[in-house]
Amino acid sequence: MKLHNAIACALLAAALLAWPSGMSAQWVEPKGQGWASLSVFRQDTRDAYDVEGDTGMFPAMGRDVATGSFLTLAVGLLDGLDAWAQFSFQRLRFDDLVGRRTSTGFGDVRLFARTAPLRALGVSTPLAIRAGVKVPVGDFDVGSNMIPLGDGQRDWELMLELGHSFYPAPTYVMGWIGYRWREEATEDATDFGDERFFYAAVGGEVGPIGYKAALEGWYGATPVFGGFESPGAKREMIRFNPSLLIPAGPGQIEVGVRWPLAGKNLPAGKDLVLGYFTRLGF
pLDDT tens digit sequence for 189-216: 678 889 999 999 999 999 999 999 999 9
Query: Residue 19: what pLDDT?
Result: 52
> Comparing 142 with 194, which gets the higher pLDDT?
194
> Comparing 73 with 18, which gets the higher pLDDT?
73
Cα end-to-end distance, the chain, whole Å: 51
| pTM over the 0.75 mark | yes
Beta bridge partners of 194: none
* CA 118 remoteness from chain centre: 27
Query: Residue 14: what pLDDT?
Result: 45
For residue 193, the enclosing domain spans: 3-281
> Comparing 69 with 147, which gets the higher pLDDT?
69
How high is the mean pLDDT of the chain?
A: 85
Residue 241 CA to residue 13 CA, distance in Å, equals 17
Query: Residue 230: what pLDDT?
Result: 87
The CATH number for 253's domain is: 2.40.128.130
Domains: count for the chain: 1
Mean pLDDT lowest among 9-18, 156-165, 229-238: 9-18
Beta bridge partners of 70: 39, 88
pLDDT tens digit sequence for 155-184: 999 999 998 889 899 999 999 999 999 987
